[in-house]
């Protein structure tokens, strides 16, 4: 827990010279508030230039985890390391990280330029140099010439970009972003995702960002760490979390789909609905046991097909809801035994209250233990 | 619809406007006019009088010094209590605003009992060090600033505490994340954002110190300040000079007000109220001990004046001469207050006059709740020192003359209730306005949309919304009026003398015990009113 006496001094943290070698890692980090354990033994590592999204519902501990990485919270157990050096107890002002706050935390009494230059001012950069750098940073986020504007006159999207410029101008050793997109309206949000990803990539340092929106996470992150009640459920690429969730909880949170009891036969799993039994190809996460005692298969809407009327060897059901979603139509179908699934289809033939048959596609379908 | 409604509201507000013009604008105009009754003669007299110029300078020096002394106490205390958690914090927080509960004159005499030449602390130190004379004298500018700092730091403390509470903690975190040290964060982020709160409290202290009367009057020594100078000129019958002095005092106050407005003009942002952060727990044993020790000293300093007044109220009159503490204790002081009608009279006077002034205010502000156009009229009694207001009343209501709208009030019972009424206007008005500002303005539109007449909207929507403000403002008004001293000393007569004047009279007669007993009763009255207002408020809720 304690930092070696020399670690602070030779870490070079306060120099702010940039430098991208050095992964950011949390090792078995735990943080309690009274009886409540906000973060429970969480570990992950982010390499230089890598983007990791911390995803979870509100209260899952993702913001506390971010604050531990930033140095605003000191964990009760575990360590934070940067390039292998323990920085757990180094205060935020000497970590040299760039942080973008959820509500941006721009200083309301300073114009845009001074906000961006603040970190340079704190590093003793002279006035001319810091103005030049601040303007360059503003230009890099598409805000040329906005330097003298008041914070109050900026739109939400502009404020977000100023906050980003402010975090990047100090050539941070890591970038931390708390819900960077949550205050933007939906259209702007879509557009900003790509910009954000490109910018974070360009900086080439470990980047950690918190979001409750899995679409943001899918669009931006290289890897996703899913938190629930302070525990890390799974950490992997978006594809891994989507196609090979390690548990029902992960499957329920990531992507859409119905979780249906299945009989695990090893290479396939059997699902019986209304007396119709189908064997499905399944995937399981790396390192999982070869056969679960009790298992569930995750039926994604895009892994099912629908047809009107009764089909041979198909599950039968009734359409309770039909929703046009652009290129596809999403049907909600109530099958026998009370099982409800969503089916995505290119065909718009079926309507509400129609009797339909639903069959699984070839798969493989994710299989999770009970 | 709208125009007829606003015409209606004007008709109802008109008598109120007339009343305020008559009692607020007219007397002040009379003072200004009076200062020119001899052409520029009185002004020349003022400018050629070394005493008057010195009084003006001293008034300003005291005001500025009081502002800085209050800042020096209030800002660190607000940070200490707002940002740190340590043993003893809650007690310190509980007593931090205690000085504001002392009526001005009572605070002054408590200081006299404690730190005066024959005060307890002074004598104790003198004895302990074996000195032949008192180690200090409670006189002059430093003594006045000392008392002002004690009573007025509360404004700074409350404003800065509120500012800290509303302070968005992520701004501080953002600054530290960008590499700013504690000192830089304080200098570049925290303090600039607290400036509006600090400036607001500085203005309050400045205005209060400029108009302060009790402290300079009681232990100014030979010191001249404008407010006491005005009374002296009036007593000497030099009314023209008194008018000039009054005008100068009022102009200084208004100049101060405008200066602060101008300094605060650039601010465009407000503090977002996203809730403060958790207070930092002091872990180091040594720092903890230091903070607890420091707060213990502050707590004692804050509570001592109150305790001292209570103690002296039981001292037998005339018995306390050269001893450190009063040697003889008795219930006699209180018994006499309750049994002798001449001694009881100031108490009924103060209570009835305060109630009249408060009731008048409540009636007036019920009628024009929701209107802002009287802002200037309402702000004027706040900006103008009480001595100036009192002199204006003395100059106006000194004869019955229908043609100039003058009524003889000077020398009658009614002059003080009128003075209290005027002094109370800003308190009630601002309380009502702040509770109306919290009201969602669409409520009024909704009521109109549902077909309610202007009158019904007023009665069923606006007044209920204004009620918390009326209660709070009424309480403040009553509390201020019952202990009022500054206007009273200019306008009282023997028959309507309020408690404050009686305290002063007893003090002059060296009847310390009786003076203190009055002070204790005054404090109890204030307490009683506060409790009554609170229970009334609860019944409303």
Residue B60: exposure state from Cβ atoms within 10 A (0-12, 13-18, ≥19): middle
Which chain A residue has the Cα nearest residue B194?
Answer: A109
CA A125-A130-A134 angle, 5° bins: 145
Residue B235 makes CB contacts below 8 A (sequence gap 6+) with none
Residue numbers of A between 27 and 86 with CB closer than 8 Å to B: 70-72
Mean pLDDT of A34-42: 93
A152 shares contact with chain B (CB less than 8 Å): yes
Residue A233 shares a structural domain with residue A258: no
Among A180, A213, A242, the domain boundary falls at A242
Residue B376 shares a structural domain with residue B308: no
C-alpha distance from A218 to closest chain B C-alpha (Å): 27
Nearest to B350 by CA among B178, B528, B154, B149: B528
pLDDT of B245-266, one tens digit each? 999 999 999 998 888 888 777 6
A89 shares contact with chain B (CB less than 8 Å): no
C-alpha distance from B205 to closest chain A C-alpha (Å): 25
Tokens of A294: 């009790």
Angle between helices B499-508 and B512-540 (to 10 degrees): 160
pLDDT of A150-190, one tens digit each? 988 998 889 999 999 999 999 999 999 999 888 888 888 88
The verdict on residue B319 lying in a domain is no
Angle between helices B512-540 and B285-313 (to 10 degrees): 110
Residue B15 shares a structural domain with residue B87: no
Residue numbers of B between 53 and 72 with CB closer than 8 Å to A: none
| Beta carbons of B173 and A101 less than 8 Å apart | yes
C-alpha distance from B165 to closest chain A C-alpha (Å): 16
Tokens of B265: 């003009």
pLDDT value, residue A148: 92
A107 shares contact with chain B (CB less than 8 Å): yes
Is the reported ipTM for this assembly greater than 0.85? Answer: no
Transcribe B57-80 into DSSP letters.
Answer: HHHHHHHHHHHHHHHHHHHHHHHH
Least confident residue range of A160-164, A192-196, B278-282, B417-421: B278-282
Residue A320 shares a structural domain with residue A234: no
Residue A38 shares a structural domain with residue A151: yes
Which CATH number covers residue A279?
Answer: 2.40.50.140
Which chain B residue has the Cα nearest residue A14?
Answer: B179
Residue A308, pLDDT above cutoff 90: no
Residue A200 shares a structural domain with residue A346: no
Mean pLDDT of A269-285: 88
Residues A178-192 as b or e (16 or more Cβ within 10 Å = b): bbbbeebeeeebeeb
SS3 per residue for B233-265: HHHCCCHHHHHHHHHHHHHHHHHHHHHHHHHCC
How far is B487 from B85, CA to CA, in rounded Å? 43
Which CATH number covers residue A65?
Answer: 3.40.50.300
Residue A195 shares a structural domain with residue A313: no
pLDDT-based confidence at A10, cuts 50/70/90?
A: very low
Residue B222 shares a structural domain with residue B76: yes
Angle between helices B50-83 and B191-211 (to 10 degrees): 140
Q: What DSSP element (H or E) covers A283? A: strand A276-283
> For residues A248 and A259, is the Cβ–Cβ distance under 8 A?
yes
pLDDT value, residue B465: 78
| Domain membership of residue A203 as a residue range | 5-242
The verdict on residue B358 lying in a domain is yes
Query: Could you tell me the end-to-end alpha-carbon distance of chain B, in angstroms, rounded to an integer?
Result: 33
The verdict on residue B138 lying in a domain is yes
B193 shares contact with chain A (CB less than 8 Å): yes
Residue numbers of A between 10 and 29 with CB closer than 8 Å to B: 14, 16
Per this entry, what is the length of chain B? Answer: 541
Which of B171, B188, B269 lies at the smallest CB-CB distance from A105? B171
Residue A79 shares a structural domain with residue A227: yes
Q: Token match 């002004």: residue? A: B43
C-alpha distance from B95 to closest chain A C-alpha (Å): 29
Task: Give percent of chain B with pLDDT exceeding 70.
Answer: 92
pLDDT of B391-450, one tens digit each? 999 988 888 888 887 888 888 889 999 999 998 888 888 888 777 777 766 777 677 777
**CA-to-CA separations, A223 to A44, A181, B151, in angstroms, rounded:** 10, 18, 61
Judged by phi (left if over 0) then psi (alpha if -120 to 50, else beta), residue A326 lies in left
Kindly list the residues from chain B whose CB atom is less than 8 angstroms away from the CB atom of residue A15.
none
> For residues B212 and B108, is the Cβ–Cβ distance under 8 A?
no
Residue A366: what are its φ and ψ, rounded to 5°? -65, 135
Residue A77 shares a structural domain with residue A47: yes
Residue B438: what are its φ and ψ, rounded to 5°? -75, -20
C-alpha distance from B163 to closest chain A C-alpha (Å): 15
How many helices (H) and strands (E) are present in chain A, helices listed first?
9, 20
Q: Token match 């002798």: residue? A: B340
Which of B171, B184, B268 lies at the smallest CB-CB distance from A107? B171
Task: Give percent of chain A with pLDDT exceeding 90.
Answer: 51
Helix, strand, coil % in chain A, rounded to nearest 5:
30, 35, 40
CA B20-B460-B366 angle, 5° bins: 15
- Cα dihedral value A8, A9, A11, A17, nearest 10: 120
Residue A211 makes CB contacts below 8 A (sequence gap 6+) with A53, A54, A55, A179, A180, A181, A182, A217
Residue A208 shares a structural domain with residue A267: no
How far is B230 from B246, CA to CA, in rounded Å? 6
- Rounded to the nearest integer, the mean pLDDT of chain A is 87
pLDDT-based confidence at B10, cuts 50/70/90?
A: low
Among A212, A242, A272, the domain boundary falls at A242
Nearest to A50 by CA among A246, A226, A225, A190: A225
Chains A, B: CB contacts within 8 A come to: 74
pLDDT of A44-102, one tens digit each? 999 999 999 999 988 899 999 999 999 989 999 999 999 999 999 998 888 999 999 88
pLDDT value, residue B304: 93
| Beta carbons of B177 and A70 less than 8 Å apart | yes
| Beta carbons of B184 and A122 less than 8 Å apart | yes
| Beta carbons of B179 and A105 less than 8 Å apart | no
Tokens of B33: 């006019």
Number of domains forming the structure of chain B = 2
| Beta carbons of B179 and A99 less than 8 Å apart | no
Transcribe B459-508 into DSSP letters.
Answer: IIIIHHHHHHHHHHHHHHHHHHHHT--HHHHHH--STT--HHHHHHHHHH
Residue A154 shares a structural domain with residue A266: no
B269 shares contact with chain A (CB less than 8 Å): yes
A96 shares contact with chain B (CB less than 8 Å): yes
The verdict on residue B5 lying in a domain is yes
Least confident residue range of A285-294, B66-75, B252-261, B469-478: A285-294
Three-state DSSP class for residue A316: strand
Residue B84 shares a structural domain with residue B200: yes
Nearest to B518 by CA among B493, B532, B498: B498
Residue B404 shares a structural domain with residue B508: yes
How far is B408 from B392, CA to CA, in rounded Å? 13
Between strands A304-308 and A355-360, the pairing is: antiparallel
> For residues A194 and A215, is the Cβ–Cβ distance under 8 A?
no
Kindly list the residues from chain A whose CB atom is less than 8 angstroms away from the CB atom of residue B176.
72, 91-93
Which CATH number covers residue B127?
Answer: 1.10.3720.10
Handedness of CA A116, A121, A123, A127 (dihedral sign): positive
Residue B307 shares a structural domain with residue B359: no
pTM for the structure as a whole: 0.80
Helix, strand, coil % in chain B, rounded to nearest 5:
75, 0, 25
Residue A197 shares a structural domain with residue A317: no
A95 shares contact with chain B (CB less than 8 Å): yes
The verdict on residue B321 lying in a domain is no
Residue B406: exposure state from Cβ atoms within 10 A (0-12, 13-18, ≥19): middle
Residue B367 shares a structural domain with residue B431: yes
Which of B173, B179, B272 lies at the smallest CB-CB distance from A122? B179
Residue A68 shares a structural domain with residue A111: yes
Residue B170 shares a structural domain with residue B190: yes
Residue B269 shares a structural domain with residue B333: no
- Rounded to the nearest integer, the mean pLDDT of chain B is 85
> For residues B162 and B197, is the Cβ–Cβ distance under 8 A?
yes
Neighbouring C-alpha atoms within 13 Å toward the C-beta of A86? 16
pLDDT of A206-219, one tens digit each? 999 999 988 889 98
Residue B64 shares a structural domain with residue B196: yes
Residue B23 shares a structural domain with residue B61: no
> For residues A344 and A332, is the Cβ–Cβ distance under 8 A?
no
Mean pLDDT of B370-375: 58
pLDDT-based confidence at B374, cuts 50/70/90?
A: low
Q: What DSSP element (H or E) covers B527? A: helix B512-540
Which of B179, B267, B269 lies at the smallest CB-CB distance from A119? B179
Neighbouring C-alpha atoms within 13 Å toward the C-beta of B244? 22
pLDDT of B303-353, one tens digit each? 999 999 999 999 988 888 778 888 888 898 999 988 888 888 888 888 888
> For residues A159 and A115, is the Cβ–Cβ distance under 8 A?
no
> For residues B173 and A178, is the Cβ–Cβ distance under 8 A?
no
Distance from chain centroid for Cα A360: 29
Residue B298 shares a structural domain with residue B333: no
Among A225, A242, A259, the domain boundary falls at A242
Nearest to A68 by CA among A48, A88, A52, A83: A88
Q: Is the omega angle on the peptide bond into residue B235 within 30 degrees of 0, that is, cis?
A: no
| Domain membership of residue B269 as a residue range | 36-278+287-313
Q: Token match 């070079």: residue? A: A12
The verdict on residue B361 lying in a domain is yes
Number of domains forming the structure of chain A = 2
pLDDT of B66-86, one tens digit each? 999 999 999 999 999 988 888
C-alpha distance from A15 to closest chain B C-alpha (Å): 10
Which of A72, A122, A167 lies at the smallest CB-CB distance from B173? A72
Residue A101 shares a structural domain with residue A215: yes
């Amino acid at each position: 827990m304690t930092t070696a006496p020399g670690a602070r001094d030779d870490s070079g943290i306060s120099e702010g010279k940039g430098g991208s070698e050095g992964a950011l890692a949390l090792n078995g980090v735990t943080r309690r508030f009274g009886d409540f354990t906000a973060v429970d033994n969480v570990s992950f590592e982010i390499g230089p230039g890598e983007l990791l999204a911390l995803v979870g519902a509100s209260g899952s501990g993702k913001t506390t985890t971010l604050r531990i990485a930033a140095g605003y919270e000191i964990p009760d157990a575990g360590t934070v390391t940067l390039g292998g050096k323990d920085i757990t107890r180094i205060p935020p002002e000497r970590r040299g990280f760039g942080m973008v706050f959820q509500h941006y935390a721009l200083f309301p009494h300073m114009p845009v330029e001074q906000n961006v230059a603040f970190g340079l001012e704190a590093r003793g950069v002279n006035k001319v140099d810091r103005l030049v750098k601040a303007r360059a940073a503003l230009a890099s986020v598409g805000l040329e010439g906005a330097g003298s504007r008041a914070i109050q006159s900026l739109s939400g999207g502009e404020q977000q970009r100023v906050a980003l410029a402010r975090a990047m101008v100090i050539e941070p050793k890591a970038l931390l972003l708390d819900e960077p997109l949550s205050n933007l309206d939906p259209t702007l949000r879509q557009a900003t995702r790509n910009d954000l990803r490109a910018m974070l990539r360009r900086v080439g340092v470990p980047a950690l960002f918190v979001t409750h929106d899995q679409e943001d996470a899918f669009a931006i992150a290289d890897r996703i760490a899913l938190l629930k009640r302070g525990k890390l459920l799974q950490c992997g690429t978006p594809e891994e979390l989507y196609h090979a969730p390690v548990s029902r909880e992960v499957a329920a949170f990531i992507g859409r789909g119905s979780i249906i009891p299945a009989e695990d036969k090893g290479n396939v799993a059997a699902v019986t609905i209304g007396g119709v039994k189908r064997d499905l190809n399944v995937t399981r996460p790396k390192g999982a046991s070869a056969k679960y005692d009790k298992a569930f298969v995750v039926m994604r809407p895009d892994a099912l097909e629908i047809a009107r009327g009764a089909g041979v060897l198909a599950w039968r059901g009734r359409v309770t809801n039909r929703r046009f979603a652009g290129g596809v139509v999403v049907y909600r179908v109530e099958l026998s035994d009370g099982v409800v699934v969503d089916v995505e289809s290119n065909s718009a033939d079926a309507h509400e209250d129609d009797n339909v048959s639903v069959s699984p596609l070839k798969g493989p379908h994710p299989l999770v233990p009970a | 619809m709208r125009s007829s409604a606003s015409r209606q509201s004007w008709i109802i507000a008109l008598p109120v406007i007339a009343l305020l013009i008559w009692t607020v604008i007219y007397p002040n105009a009379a003072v200004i006019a009076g200062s020119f009754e001899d052409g520029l003669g009185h002004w020349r007299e003022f400018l050629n009088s070394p005493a008057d110029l010195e009084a003006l300078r001293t008034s300003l020096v005291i005001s500025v010094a009081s502002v800085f002394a209050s800042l020096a106490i209030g800002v660190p205390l607000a940070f200490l209590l707002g940002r740190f958690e340590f043993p003893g914090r809650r007690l310190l927080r509980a007593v931090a605003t205690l000085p504001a509960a002392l009526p001005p004159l009572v605070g002054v005499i408590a200081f006299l009992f404690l730190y005066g030449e024959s005060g307890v602390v002074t004598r104790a130190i003198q004895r302990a060090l074996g000195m032949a004379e008192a180690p200090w004298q409670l006189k002059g500018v430093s003594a006045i600033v000392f008392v002002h700092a004690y009573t007025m730091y509360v404004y700074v403390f409350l404003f800065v505490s509120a500012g800290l509470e509303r302070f968005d903690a992520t701004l501080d975190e953002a600054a530290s994340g960008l590499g700013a040290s504690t000192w830089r964060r304080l200098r570049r982020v925290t303090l600039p954002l607290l400036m509006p709160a600090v400036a607001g409290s500085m203005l309050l202290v400045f205005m209060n110190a400029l108009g302060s009367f009790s402290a300079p009057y009681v232990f100014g020594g030979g010191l001249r300040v404008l407010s006491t100078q005005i009374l002296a000129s009036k007593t000497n019958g030099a009314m023209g000079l008194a008018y000039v002095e009054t005008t100068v005092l009022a102009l200084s106050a208004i100049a101060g007000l405008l200066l602060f407005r101008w300094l605060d003009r650039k601010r465009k942002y407000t503090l977002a109220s996203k809730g403060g952060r958790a207070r930092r727990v002091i872990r180091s044993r040594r720092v903890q001990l230091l903070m607890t020790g420091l707060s213990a000293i502050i707590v004692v300093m804050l509570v001592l004046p109150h305790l001292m007044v209570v103690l002296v109220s039981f001292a037998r009159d005339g018995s306390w001469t050269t001893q450190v503490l009063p040697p003889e204790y008795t219930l006699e002081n209180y018994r006499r207050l309750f049994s002798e009608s001449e001694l009881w009279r100031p108490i009924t006077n103060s209570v009835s006059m305060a109630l009249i002034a408060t009731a008048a205010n409540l009636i007036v502000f019920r009628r024009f709740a929701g209107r802002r156009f009287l802002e200037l009229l309402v702000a004027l009694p706040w900006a103008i020192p009480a001595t100036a207001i009192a002199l204006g009343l003395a100059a106006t209501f000194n004869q019955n003359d229908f043609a100039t709208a003058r009524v003889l009030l000077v020398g009658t019972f009614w002059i003080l209730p009128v003075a209290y009424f005027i002094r109370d206007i800003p308190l009630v008005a601002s309380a009502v306005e702040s509770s109306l500002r919290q009201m969602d303005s669409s409520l009024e539109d909704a009521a109109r949309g549902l077909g309610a007449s202007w009158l019904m909207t007023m009665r069923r929507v606006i007044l209920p919304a204004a009620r918390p403000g009326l209660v709070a403002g009424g309480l403040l008004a009553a509390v201020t009026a019952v202990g009022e001293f500054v206007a009273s000393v200019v306008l009282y007569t023997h028959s309507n003398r309020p408690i404050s004047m009686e305290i002063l009279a007893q003090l002059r007669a060296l009847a310390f015990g009786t003076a203190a007993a009055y002070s204790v009763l005054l404090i109890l009255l204030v307490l009683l009113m506060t409790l009554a207002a609170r229970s009334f408020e609860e019944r409303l809720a």
